[in-house]
Amino acid sequence: MMLSRDAEACYWIGRYVERAEATARMVDVHYHTALETFLPYAAEGPVGSEELNTLGWQPILAISGNAADYAKRYDKENDRDVLHFFAFDYDNPDSIISTWTKARENSRSIRELISSEMWEAINISYIELRSWDVDQVLKRSPHEFFYRVKNAAHLFQGILGRTMMLGEARDWLDIGTFLERAFQTARLLDVKYHDLLPGTLYHSEEPSDLVGVDDPYGVGGPLDTHGWTAVLKSVSAFEMFCKTHRNGINPTNVVDFLLLNAQFPASVRHGVDRVEASLRNIAVTAQGAPVSDPERQVGRLQAELMYNSSREIIEHGLHQFLVRVLAQCNTIGGAISRAYLS
């Protein structure tokens, strides 16, 4: 049986590495999607500065939960300040440098439990990330920096899969990784939902009575289709999605793939299933009724994902469903901490 402090370190290594990668993906896709899609439309003059601001950084700050913290320390929303906030701001606990630093500190505390290759991967990446700053990112390429962050996470996770013994430490790393991945995929979908809000015009209060409008920013418009494509690419899901859903990209199919597909590694359903399996390993329970509060909480979320269809989710409100998923992921994390890590 592992010491709770060692289990906690493994759990948070998994969460922090995944969070750093997810932040890099989220900011990268949002930044470059705005450049590729909004600016050409803006050049044609269909919208004003208010819409430009809405398609800028407001949604990503709102969904990250850091809007209030950002507003306290930065005067306005511009590329330089937002990129610094998400990538290099040590006072932002969810920035890339903050989360990677905490992953490194936890790795150093349990070096006897992880492989030397795992430690080297996370430590070398930490040193490399510290050599960058926001001015260098803007001068060279934001995509290059975020690509390096994503590759650093992939390298660490690949080495983990190759060199880490199966057992309790591995289960705790997996629980942290896949709980965070499920949370971040749901959050990314919510970012997309907020991106659509400014251009979505309702002729009725009922979602089923939505009337399409000739608006490039509306549902079904060019930016809508491009936006869903960007969401898929941001979690490396585009190719597998196209092979799974051959009838094209639409909200119903994207929600089905990223929320409900049990086979795709970045889907919410797959992440929750992996958390459930690892919790069972740790609790040494047979298949049957859950015996701990974390298992019960995971089971409730599994049921939501197993017995809802993507069409039902969209009809009853995608945003509302995602808010419940995010809240349940937080509840699971709290239950895990109380049951095992305190």
Q: List, for residues 192-244, the tens digit of each pLDDT value.
A: 766 655 444 333 344 343 333 344 444 444 456 677 887 888 788 888 999 99
Inter-CA distances, 313 with 58, 74, 240, 266, 302, Å: 25, 37, 22, 19, 15
Rounded to an integer, the average pLDDT of 276-302 is 82
Give 277's pLDDT tier (boundaries 50, 70, 90): very high
φ, ψ for residue 141, nearest 5 deg:
-175, 120
Based on the structure, what is the number of domains in the chain? 1
pLDDT-derived band at 287 (thresholds 50, 70, 90) equals low
Nearest to 122 by CA among 164, 62, 70, 167: 164
Mean pLDDT of all residues in the chain?
Answer: 83
> What is the mean predicted confidence (pLDDT) over 304-326?
92
Is pLDDT of 52 > 70? no
Q: What is the model's pLDDT at position 34?
A: 67
Among the listed ranges 26-30, 48-52, 308-312, which one has the minimum average pLDDT value?
A: 48-52
Residue with more model confidence, 296 or 57 = 296
Residue 17 banded pLDDT, cuts 50, 70, 90: very high
pLDDT, average across residues 285-306: 82
Domain that holds residue 178: 4-341
Sequence-distant (6+) residues with CB within 8 A of 342 are: 4
Alpha helices in the chain (DSSP H): 4-33, 39-44, 49-54, 58-64, 67-73, 79-87, 96-109, 116-130, 134-140, 142-163, 168-196, 222-234, 238-244, 251-255, 268-283, 293-306, 310-316, 318-336
- % pLDDT > 70, the chain: 81
Tell me what pLDDT residue 201 has: 36
Per-residue model confidence (pLDDT) at position 148 = 95
The pTM of this model reads 0.84
Residues 319, 200 contacting (CB under 8 angstroms): no
Instruction: Summarize pLDDT for 166-198 with one digit per residue, the tens.
Output: 999 999 999 999 999 999 999 888 877 666 554
